[in-house]
Amino acid sequence: MTPRAILFVNYGDEPFGGQERVVLDLIDGLDRTRFRPVMWCNAPSLATACTDRGVPVVCSHLAHFLDYSSPAFNPRRWLALVREGRRLIARHKAAVVHANGAAPLQWMVPAARLAGIPVLGHIHTRYLRRSRYVLLCHAADLIVGVSRRTIAPFLDDGMAEARVRVVHNGIDTRRLGGQGEDLRARFGIGREVLLLLSVGALIPLKAHDVLLHALASLPPSDPAPRLLIVGDGPSRGDLERLAAALGLADRVQFLGRLADPSSAYRAADLFVLPSRQEGFPLVVLEAGWFGLARIATDVGGVPEAVRHGETGLIVPPDDVRALAEAIARLGADAQMRRRFGEAARAEVIARFTLTRMVDTFQDLYAELAKASGRGSVLRPYLRLFGSWPRERALGGGAP
């Protein structure tokens, strides 16, 4: 049987982040006797990663329009993207388009319709209503969200349940097998010291500032808790200055990006994710696989990955006091940390592996490729236009 080509289309940041990590892991796990991946993207780092894997790739400037803070609509540019999408479908004889994120749907839905093949939208975060409509999400054959919270707005818009699925992200544990250096020894941190770990890009949405304020507000203790921060980004300088201003300069280590974060997970006693916004973060799954108790905020799909009181603690976002109380609670109770960590590892192994994620997507590709008909895509749009005059009269907003 000739493998079916899957055209992946990703429009993201440089360097790439979690959304791209998920699609690379998916590509790595595909059964190449059944499916042949092709990538169209705008990020050179993602293009290089695909080339290293032997995946055909086209890297070019991409754009989306009519959305919040997007450029003014350029019909010529939009039509050029549609034509290029259709050309790539024809060139590679693609059977399914996998739009990684909502933005590519704006030009890949019409390209796929013209080519007569199905398109899947892989949604990694919660989109506002305007974005959902102008990006043509409702016209995709299938919307796959990384969490229940991610897909809930589409169901509220009137999309049929049969055209909406949840596929939680899974982690490739093969990437987490390294030992690395002993970070406690490197920084002179004894085993008796509570060592916190946070992993993520250093950007405002990740809210490392909240974590630093929470750490500074903990009651005095001897020895005082320490913190490792893995990741890099434009906020690094501001965060280093904040740590110094809070008197934490000698208790917080900024490690930058690590190709293999295993050494950080192995060194830590407790994982903390203080984000203001998330989809379904891989880092909480990785921490769970290492048997770490986790504290995370009630955003996105996080509560589906961290069960409050069973595999970790969930706190409100931007709440320094609640975060500090959770750190103090788990920091003082090694038995609770151990119980949460063991339960977290068991759940990751059972529910959040790369194998499970890949198998589910391969079944969806096969299902889409052989589907003879498509469900109506008009109901969400008719519902929008039907409610628009009333909402405008009332001055109603859009979630």
pLDDT tens-digit profile of 149-159? 999 999 999 99
C-alpha to C-alpha distance for 49 and 47, rounded to whole angstroms: 5
**Residue 224: per-residue pLDDT:** 96
- What's the whole-number average pLDDT of the chain? 92
How confident is residue 85, by pLDDT bands cut at 50, 70 and 90?
very high
**β-bridge partners, 196:** 227, 270
C-alpha to C-alpha distance for 47 and 321, rounded to whole angstroms: 42
C-alpha to C-alpha distance for 375 and 229, rounded to whole angstroms: 46
Q: Is the pLDDT of residue 298 over 80?
A: yes
**Residue 394: per-residue pLDDT:** 35
Average pLDDT over residues 155-165: 93
Q: Which parts of 29-126 are beta strand (E)?
A: 35-41, 57-59, 94-100, 119-123
C-alpha to C-alpha distance for 169 and 26, rounded to whole angstroms: 10
**Residue 391: per-residue pLDDT:** 44
Average pLDDT over residues 362-369: 95
**β-bridge partners, 40:** 9, 58
Average pLDDT over residues 194-210: 97
> What percent of the chain stands above pLDDT 70?
93
Q: Is the pLDDT of residue 311 over 80?
A: yes
* Cis amide leading into 223 (omega within 30): yes
Q: Which of 163, 165, 156 is nearest to 380 (CA)?
A: 156
**Token reading at 195:** 């060592």
Per-domain residue ranges of the chain: 4-170+354-394, 174-351
Strand, coil or helix: what is 64? coil
**Residue 149: per-residue pLDDT:** 94
pLDDT tens profile 266-284: 999 999 999 999 999 999 9
Q: Is the pLDDT of residue 373 over 80?
A: no
Average pLDDT over residues 189-217: 97
Sequence-separated (6 or more) residues with CB below 8 Å from residue 241:
none
Average pLDDT over residues 19-28: 95
C-alpha to C-alpha distance for 137 and 381, rounded to whole angstroms: 11
**Residue 194: per-residue pLDDT:** 98
> What percent of the chain stands above pLDDT 90?
85
pTM flag (> 0.75): yes
Average pLDDT over residues 318-332: 98
pLDDT tens profile 346-355: 999 999 999 9
Q: Is the pLDDT of residue 375 over 90?
A: no
**Residue 382: per-residue pLDDT:** 61
Domains 4-170+354-394 and 174-351 share a fold: yes
More confident: 269 or 259:
269
How confident is residue 379, by pLDDT bands cut at 50, 70 and 90?
low
More confident: 394 or 341:
341
CATH number assigned to the domain covering 4-170+354-394: 3.40.50.2000
Q: Is the pLDDT of residue 398 over 70?
A: no
Strand, coil or helix: what is 297? strand
pLDDT tens profile 97-129: 999 999 999 999 999 999 999 999 999 999 999
More confident: 320 or 175:
320
Sequence-separated (6 or more) residues with CB below 8 Å from residue 155:
161, 164
Average pLDDT over residues 216-228: 96
**Residue 377: per-residue pLDDT:** 60
Instruction: Calculate the dihedral angle through the C-alpha atoms of 255, 258, 261, 263, rounding to the nearest 10 degrees.
Output: -60
**Residue 380: per-residue pLDDT:** 66
CATH superfamily of 174-351: Glycogen Phosphorylase B; (3.40.50.2000)
**Residue 393: per-residue pLDDT:** 42
